[in-house]
A and B are shown apart, each in its own frame.
Chain A
Amino acid sequence: MSIFRVRSGYIFLFSVIMIGAISLATLGSLLLIGIGSLQIGATVEQSEQARSLAQTCTERALRSLWEDATYVGNENIPLPEGECDILPVGGSGNENRAVCTEGRVGFTVRRYEILLKRILPSTQVYSWREVEQFAACTYAEEGPDLPRSSSFSFSSSSESSSDISSSSSEISSVSSSEIFIDCSPASICDVMIVNDSCMGRTITCPDFQYPAPDGESCGSPSCVGQCRQCPTLPTFYECSGGEHCSIFLMGSACLQISSYCSIGSPVFTGNGCGEGSCTGDCYICPDQGEILSSSSSSASSSSF
């Protein structure tokens, strides 16, 4: 009987300890949830401010271009809330220009890429998109001091956002779920993965040489590490039937053509509309639908 009583006490105590452990775990979880929720709120706010900074730079760039078509961009503008960059303005003359801007608050980055049909007498926007990587512009080699830190913010989505009102890229911080591709010859890799860490580097290698895995120098062909898709060069792919390509490469420049081919007759590099596969390099471009959706979103939140 006495043994039974001793055992009862321990059972009670053991139960209390178990309940306590469960309670502690619950407590920890709730604490983390609370902190996580607060972080989400702060990140959303930070992201909106970064977008506003990108918008500010865009507004300044467009006005500067309107005032002087030879405006070259390549500016870093510090503002009370953070900073924004205007990349070198693409194209030349009055038609077919590209403006790319980037707003940063902390580790949050938002980017706008605007293709202009013409500047004067009034600026006409061909497309206005929020993107995760610039395709129509390149970072200046000696331009604004752009961040290439290990926590460089990057969206995990591989598709560009085409709708301004719904875009929500760049909120997430760098993670292992990023999209990586193997380096291609002569590409510029600005972030290398070393031991699961992102190493910020900006290296331009000559043809058929690659940034070495440690990102320190250009080496011979084996790019062992994976290299994030370079934001400094446009990405190309081969067109297939039914795709619309509205922008093409001329030298290092992107050219738009104003007319679209119909579905089933993609635009070829310089050969007009035709059937079949596109043998030339075709710039990844928003298809007509995306552009239209981008334009239609302007009533609610865009600036054109």
Chain B
Amino acid sequence: MNTFRSGSLLLEALLGIAVFALLAGAVTAVLFVGQEGSLQSGERVRGVFLTSEALGAARSMRDTSFALLTPGQHGVCVGTSGMWEFCGSENISSDGFATTLTVQSLDESHVRVTAETKWQTAAERLVSVVVSEELTDWQAIKPVGDWSSVRLAGSSLIEGLPLFSSIALKGNYAFVTSGFGEGGRGIHVYDISGEEDPVPVATGFSLGVGAYAALMEDDVLYVATADPSAEIQIFDVSDPANFSISDRLISIDLPGEGRARSLAYHNHVLFVGALEDTVEPELTVYDVSDPFAPELIGSLDDTASYYGLSLHDGYAYVASSMDASEVRVVDVFDSSDPVLAPGIGYNLTDTHDALTVASVNDDLLIGRRNGEAIEEFVLLDLSAAAVPAPPPGPWFQEIGGSSVGLSVEPGGRYAFLATDNITAQLQVADLAEFRAGHFAIVSSATTSSGGGRAVAYDTMNDRVLLATDRALLLYRPGA
């Protein structure tokens, strides 16, 4: 009995030791597995960091100059100038992480950068992290020519007297509004893709009424017309070459009859300026997020005609007929509740109407009706307040005629004026010179096709379109 018990105990002990050994072995193995997992994770995070750093270096180099991103496999390092630069074909850290940055050119302004970090694990296994992204040269500066001289590049003349009134650009097409009759068809479409004369297209189109203003937004054209019951007409212009009246999406009957004169747009909201009316509002605001169903969301009743509109930083700047305040400033932060901004606007010298307005940077530019005792081109400063409160400025420039149309180059260096000065229908102003108090007009052009009536600067191609009584003319910088 005693022997049996002893053997049993020994067996139990052996069994227990065996189980313990198995468990201890398993625990030890898992301990190493867990530790290995943690180490691998740490190494991977470090690999990601190094990869990300290489991509950051590529972005930094691109910020300096896109040309620095030369195709090939590179290493990156901080140069003597303190900036990232390529050095060698890879970077190897002190703990054995090798990072490469491969630049692949996709086109002249577009590269794909791939950063890869490789390292060996404790088990001598080669592991890597690869992250790719694309970089583009979006920081490039759109070149602007020297407009201190202009040359006529092309023109298109219409028989009669269409009296063009405004220009809206869509890529290589220009939509030009006009009167109706005497050659005017309300809207004329031109192909301006060539380097020479604008080519009329969609010549069968007829609006049936005259039009005063046009505004292009994406594939939608908004037109202020003389139609007494359809002042605002909205067109789909996705196919400009085949533009027809069937492209009209809908029209808006503005309060009153045929009063719409100016248009402005911001993010699905359309602002319409109108002639003065004792009862009806002069500024109406429409939500056009659905161009098929514009919705009136706000209006402002004023005591002046709104000939021109320009939106800038939540305010609508109005070229108006108000004698005591030709420049009106409307607070449109809440577009459903437009109100005159505190201070109302700015009273220019004498009582000649402001006809057109444009804004760029901190500059507010106004074109006025011709007057012997006034200068027709005015620059106001907006840097200090939304409502102009000189000084600094204002600055005045004699034009020798009414400044009917105004367009500005987005960089704010040049402004282009359409005037009825018979010797200088197109005038180019250098705004830096203007601000410095110097003579602002740096060049001009004359045409025999009548007075200048509208002007548009084509940003993408650095050219200017001038619409006169009878022609559409294309100008480029340089002699």
Do A270 and B333 contact each other (CB < 8 Å), given the known contacts A59-B135, A81-B132, A120-B459? yes
A92's contact among B27, B48, B63, B265, by CB below 8 Å, is which? B265
- Please name the residue on chain B nearest to A118 by beta carbon: B410
> Shortest beta-carbon distance, B57 to chain A, in Å?
9
Question: Is B13 interfacial (CB-CB < 8 Å)?
Answer: yes
Q: Are A53 and B59 in contact (CB under 8 A)?
A: no
B339's contact among A37, A60, A63, A270, by CB below 8 Å, is which? A270
The residues of A that contact B43 with a CB separation of less than 8 Å are 41
The residues of B that contact A8 with a CB separation of less than 8 Å are 9
Q: Are A31 and B332 in contact (CB under 8 A)?
A: no
The residues of B that contact A271 with a CB separation of less than 8 Å are 331, 342
Q: Are A251 and B62 in contact (CB under 8 A)?
A: no
Do A303 and B62 contact each other (CB < 8 Å), given the known contacts A23-B26, A52-B132, A120-B411? yes
Total count of chain B residues near the partner, CB < 8 A:
90
Question: Is A208 interfacial (CB-CB < 8 Å)?
Answer: no
The residues of A that contact B269 with a CB separation of less than 8 Å are 250-253
Provide the bound-state CA to CA distance between A122 and B66, in Å.
14
* Most chain A CB inside 10 Å of its own CB: which residue of B15, B26, B40, B138: B138
Query: Which A residues form the contact surface with B (CB < 8 A)?
Result: 2, 5-6, 8-9, 12-13, 15-16, 19-20, 23-24, 26-27, 30-31, 33-35, 37-38, 40-42, 44-45, 48-49, 52-53, 55-56, 59-60, 62-63, 65-70, 72, 80-81, 90-96, 118-123, 248-258, 269-272, 280, 298-304
Q: Are B16 and A31 in contact (CB under 8 A)?
A: no
> Shortest beta-carbon distance, A44 to chain B, in Å?
5
* Most chain B CB inside 10 Å of its own CB: which residue of A249, A254, A256: A249
Q: Are B59 and A303 in contact (CB under 8 A)?
A: yes
8 A-B pairs with least C-beta separation? A34-B37, A253-B267, A41-B44, A34-B34, A270-B333, A62-B138, A30-B34, A37-B41
Q: Are B20 and A41 in contact (CB under 8 A)?
A: no
> Shortest beta-carbon distance, A47 to chain B, in Å?
8
Q: Are A34 and B5 in contact (CB under 8 A)?
A: no
Do A12 and B138 contact each other (CB < 8 Å), given the known contacts A49-B131, A252-B268? no
Provide the bound-state CA to CA distance between A37 and B20, in Å.
28
The residues of A that contact B55 with a CB separation of less than 8 Å are 52
> Shortest beta-carbon distance, B344 to chain A, in Å?
13
Do A255 and B133 contact each other (CB < 8 Å), given the known contacts A33-B37, A122-B141? no
- Please name the residue on chain B nearest to A302 by beta carbon: B59
The residues of B that contact A44 with a CB separation of less than 8 Å are 44-45, 48
Provide the bound-state CA to CA distance between A19 and B19, in Å.
10
Q: Are A250 and B63 in contact (CB under 8 A)?
A: no
Q: Are A269 and B459 in contact (CB under 8 A)?
A: no
A272's contact among B144, B312, B342, by CB below 8 Å, is which? B342
Q: Are A48 and B51 in contact (CB under 8 A)?
A: yes
The residues of A that contact B129 with a CB separation of less than 8 Å are 45
List 20 extra interface pairs beyond A49-B131, A92-B265, A121-B409, CB under 8 A: A8-B9, A19-B20, A20-B20, A23-B26, A34-B34, A37-B34, A37-B40, A45-B44, A52-B131, A66-B138, A91-B267, A92-B266, A93-B265, A96-B313, A120-B142, A256-B313, A257-B313, A270-B334, A298-B63, A304-B63
CB-CB contacts below 8 Å: B328-370 with A: 331-336, 339, 341-342
Q: Are A63 and B109 in contact (CB under 8 A)?
A: yes
A26's contact among B27, B37, B38, by CB below 8 Å, is which? B27
- Please name the residue on chain A nearest to B144 by beta carbon: A121
Q: Are A272 and B386 in contact (CB under 8 A)?
A: yes
Question: Is B8 interfacial (CB-CB < 8 Å)?
Answer: yes
Do A12 and B16 contact each other (CB < 8 Å), given the known contacts A44-B44, A48-B131? yes
Q: Are A253 and B34 in contact (CB under 8 A)?
A: no
Do A250 and B37 contact each other (CB < 8 Å), given the known contacts A23-B23, A23-B26, A299-B60? no
Q: Are A30 and B30 in contact (CB under 8 A)?
A: yes
Q: Are A41 and B30 in contact (CB under 8 A)?
A: no
Provide the bound-state CA to CA distance between A23 and B27, in Å.
6
Q: Chain B 460-477, CB within 8 Å of chain A: the 1/0 string?
A: 100000000000000000
The residues of A that contact B42 with a CB separation of less than 8 Å are 37, 41
- Please name the residue on chain A nearest to B332 by beta carbon: A250
Q: Are A251 and B336 in contact (CB under 8 A)?
A: yes
Question: Is B89 interfacial (CB-CB < 8 Å)?
Answer: no
> Shortest beta-carbon distance, B121 to chain A, in Å?
12
Question: Is B70 interfacial (CB-CB < 8 Å)?
Answer: no
A27's contact among B27, B37, B63, by CB below 8 Å, is which? B27
Q: Are B38 and A33 in contact (CB under 8 A)?
A: yes
Question: Is B287 interfacial (CB-CB < 8 Å)?
Answer: yes
Question: Is B218 interfacial (CB-CB < 8 Å)?
Answer: yes
The residues of A that contact B336 with a CB separation of less than 8 Å are 251
Do A253 and B266 contact each other (CB < 8 Å), given the known contacts A13-B12, A37-B38, A41-B45? yes
Q: Chain B 205-219, CB within 8 Å of chain A: the 1/0 string?
A: 000000000001110
Do A34 and B266 contact each other (CB < 8 Å), given the known contacts A48-B52, A120-B410, A258-B313? no
The residues of A that contact B1 with a CB separation of less than 8 Å are 2
The residues of A that contact B409 with a CB separation of less than 8 Å are 121
* Most chain A CB inside 10 Å of its own CB: which residue of B24, B48, B55, B311: B48
> Shortest beta-carbon distance, B325 to chain A, in Å?
18
Q: Are A40 and B410 in contact (CB under 8 A)?
A: no
Question: Is B31 interfacial (CB-CB < 8 Å)?
Answer: yes
Question: Is B289 interfacial (CB-CB < 8 Å)?
Answer: yes
Question: Is B139 interfacial (CB-CB < 8 Å)?
Answer: yes
Provide the bound-state CA to CA distance between A252 and B30, in Å.
58
> Shortest beta-carbon distance, B15 to chain A, in Å?
8
- Please name the residue on chain A nearest to B59 by beta carbon: A303
Question: Is B244 interfacial (CB-CB < 8 Å)?
Answer: no
Do A62 and B411 contact each other (CB < 8 Å), given the known contacts A38-B40, A48-B52? no
18 contacts between A and B (CB under 8 A): A12-B16, A20-B20, A27-B26, A30-B31, A31-B34, A34-B33, A41-B43, A45-B47, A45-B131, A59-B135, A62-B138, A63-B109, A66-B138, A121-B141, A253-B268, A270-B334, A300-B56, A301-B59
Do A250 and B333 contact each other (CB < 8 Å), given the known contacts A12-B16, A13-B16? yes
Question: Is B110 interfacial (CB-CB < 8 Å)?
Answer: yes
Do A38 and B41 contact each other (CB < 8 Å), given the known contacts A53-B133, A253-B266? yes
Do A270 and B331 contact each other (CB < 8 Å), given the known contacts A31-B34, A63-B137, A120-B410? yes
Provide the bound-state CA to CA distance between A8 and B9, in Å.
9
The residues of B that contact A93 with a CB separation of less than 8 Å are 265-266, 311
Question: Is B157 interfacial (CB-CB < 8 Å)?
Answer: no
Q: Are A34 and B45 in contact (CB under 8 A)?
A: no
B136's contact among A35, A38, A42, A60, by CB below 8 Å, is which? A60
Q: Are B410 and A60 in contact (CB under 8 A)?
A: no
Question: Is B134 interfacial (CB-CB < 8 Å)?
Answer: yes
